[in-house]
Amino acid sequence: MVSDDYSLCHHAVDVDHALRDIGRQVLLIQALHPRNTAEERERFFKRHALASPVFVYRELSYDPRELRARLRSVARRAGRIRSPWLRSVFRAKCRELALKLALVAARGTAEFLPYSMRLFPPPTRRMAHDAEVLACLPRHEEEKRLSAAQVEKVLRATIRDYRRQHRSFACRVKWVDSSLAEASISDAQLNVRKDAGYSERFLLMLQHHEIGVHLVTAQNGDRQPLNIFRGGLAGYDPTQEGLALFAEFRAGAITTNRLRVLGARVLAADLLCRGASFAEVYAALTAGLSLSADEAFSTCLRCFRGGGYTKDVIYQPGFLGVFNYWVQGGDLAILFVGKFPLSQVRHVKEALRQGLVKAPLFVPPMILDEGRLHAERTVFSLLRGRKRRRLTGFRELAREEARAEEQERDGALQAAPAS
């Protein structure tokens, strides 16, 4: 018998379709990609990296105010949904989309950063400390011996492996001239930035991070009765990126270079949130962390697009969250049902049991190798138990910082001279 907690009524279907139509228009990557990057980059270096770039953006194909009005109507309809869980899920998605629309409408203004910090909170003190450790790791030279043709050949073999699981798996490989990211997924297309050569690590990242997580979860989400599992439940980003990094880690694709970049991005976001300019963050990355000019500019570009975008903060806690979930015995396969945060795992499992959600059709090789997974988890569990220390996630880090700040206040009061 299906309980009302996980039942599907016509109100839920209507709201799901309405949010799908709105969500398909709110594409942050496209909206926040400057159209004058090359010109501003040249201008920045001509002025000896002293004047911050001024980016301009493409016109939107929609009116954010009109879509926010539609969202308010959808949110009211969500209140009629019978299932308490689905009602909560759809209301949360309405709030997240409304915040994203406000963010997009504020591009290039001082209002952009506060919206971004609501979507992706700034790093805690502990996160910034950990990021500094990562950013200061020694550089590892990688040979870029692979050509684009060699990379594409391996990627096509990877795609064929997924098609053996089911023939509906779809993926096109497209080589692009300009992109903020080295690689990205859009619909069923893997976009790879053109370069003179590619490393073995980069190829592994494409196979396991981009295809094995981002594309696989999207196509499994496409099979679900509810479209929201393709577009993503509210707050899914840290888990999605954390799972992608976890896949890289298990595939042996993470080197000190990758960790340096991830750490530098968090530190750049921390400086941004503290009021630093593009030029000031660039100087800190080159002088303080010894990043190359290209690395530092790319990091700053990701960080300052739109007016200050803090999404790069989520990778670190996202990875730790997924890693802890796995070490504690969490089922990795359930995370490939679609795109949702770890906080929803219990509900997704129950929805799967009651038939509201379907089991993933596609699963990456790391999930199929149960023996290796179990052995690695056992080793990490033993090591963690011996150290008597639990890796900390986002919430734990926030609580640690609050306790530290309280202790500092108490210390200051005790040290103050009596009047």
How sure is the predictor about 208, in pLDDT bands with cuts at 50, 70 and 90? Answer: very high
**Is 8 within the bounds of a domain?**
no
Whether the pLDDT of residue 299 is over 80: the answer is: yes
Task: Tell me how far apart the alpha carbons of residues 305 and 297 are, in angstroms, rounded to a whole number.
Answer: 12
The pair of structure tokens assigned to 223 is 């099979």
Q: Which residues contact 301 (CB under 8 A, 6 or more apart)?
A: 34, 37, 180
The pair of structure tokens assigned to 263 is 């750490």
Whether the pLDDT of residue 258 is over 60: the answer is: yes
How sure is the predictor about 404, in pLDDT bands with cuts at 50, 70 and 90? Answer: low
**pLDDT on residue 371:** 85
pLDDT in tens, 15-30: 999 999 999 999 999 9
> What is the average pLDDT across 140-157?
95
Whether the pLDDT of residue 251 is over 70: the answer is: yes
C-alpha closest to that of 85 among 306, 269, 356: 356
**Is 370 within the bounds of a domain?**
yes
Length of the chain (residues): 419
- H-assigned helices in 206-292: 216-222, 228-231, 237-251, 256-273, 278-283, 289
- Of 4-8, 34-38, 198-202, 219-223, give the lowest mean pLDDT range: 4-8
**pLDDT on residue 388:** 45
How sure is the predictor about 408, in pLDDT bands with cuts at 50, 70 and 90? Answer: low
**Is 43 within the bounds of a domain?**
no
How sure is the predictor about 162, in pLDDT bands with cuts at 50, 70 and 90? Answer: very high
DSSP 329: T
- 386 vs 406, which has greater pLDDT? 406
**Is 86 within the bounds of a domain?**
no
**pLDDT on residue 368:** 80
Q: Which pTM does this prediction carry?
A: 0.88
**Is 114 within the bounds of a domain?**
no
The pair of structure tokens assigned to 379 is 């080793």
**pLDDT on residue 414:** 56
- Of 137-146, 210-219, 404-413, give the lowest mean pLDDT range: 404-413
> What is the average pLDDT across 213-229?
97
Q: Which residues contact 23 (CB under 8 A, 6 or more apart)?
A: 97, 231
Angle at 160 between CA 158 and CA 166, to 5 degrees: 120
How sure is the predictor about 380, in pLDDT bands with cuts at 50, 70 and 90? Answer: confident
Task: Tell me how far apart the alpha carbons of residues 268 and 54 are, in angstroms, rounded to a whole number.
Answer: 18
Going by their DSSP bridges, the two strands 189-193 and 172-176 should be labelled as parallel
3-class SS shares of the chain: helix, strand, coil, % to 5:
65, 5, 30
**Is 9 within the bounds of a domain?**
no
Task: Tell me how far apart the alpha carbons of residues 220 and 240 are, in angstroms, rounded to a whole number.
Answer: 13
**Is 66 within the bounds of a domain?**
no
> What is the average pLDDT across 47-52?
95
> What is the average pLDDT across 337-343?
98
Which residues span the domain enclosing 158? 123-387
How many helices (DSSP H) and strands (DSSP E) are in the chain? 21, 3
> What is the average pLDDT across 266-291?
97
CA distances from 84 to 8, 90, 95, 221 (A): 11, 10, 17, 21
Amino acid (1-letter code) at residue 221:
G
DSSP 305: G
Whether the pLDDT of residue 397 is over 80: the answer is: no
CB count within 10 Å of CB 262 equals 19
Contact at 8 Å (CB) between 339 and 236? Answer: yes
Give percent of the chain with pLDDT exceeding 90.
81
**pLDDT on residue 413:** 56
pLDDT in tens, 168-187: 999 999 999 877 789 999 88
Determine the distance from the C-alpha atom of residue 322 to the mean position of all C-alpha atoms in its chain, rounded to a whole number.
12
**Average pLDDT along the chain:** 91
Spell out a b/e string for 67-99, using b for 16 or more CB atoms within 10 Å of the CB, else e: bbebbeebbeebeebebebbbebbbbbbebbbb
**Is 47 within the bounds of a domain?**
no
Whether the pLDDT of residue 409 is over 90: the answer is: no
Q: Enumerate long-range contacts of 145-154, CB under 8 Å, 24 or more apart.
A: 145/197, 145/199, 145/200, 146/197, 146/198, 146/199, 146/200, 146/202, 146/203, 147/197, 147/198, 148/175, 148/192, 148/194, 148/195, 148/198, 150/198, 151/192, 151/198, 151/202, 151/203, 151/206, 154/203, 154/207
Task: Tell me how far apart the alpha carbons of residues 311 and 136 are, in angstroms, rounded to a whole number.
Answer: 21
Task: Tell me how far apart the alpha carbons of residues 57 and 306 are, in angstroms, rounded to a whole number.
Answer: 8
Task: Tell me how far apart the alpha carbons of residues 217 and 219 are, in angstroms, rounded to a whole number.
Answer: 6
Measured between alpha carbons, how far apart are the two ends of the chain, in Å?
71
C-alpha closest to that of 292 among 139, 143, 134: 139
DSSP 330: -
Total domains in the chain come to 1
Task: Tell me how far apart the alpha carbons of residues 53 and 384 are, in angstroms, rounded to a whole number.
Answer: 45
Task: Tell me how far apart the alpha carbons of residues 411 and 334 are, in angstroms, rounded to a whole number.
Answer: 46
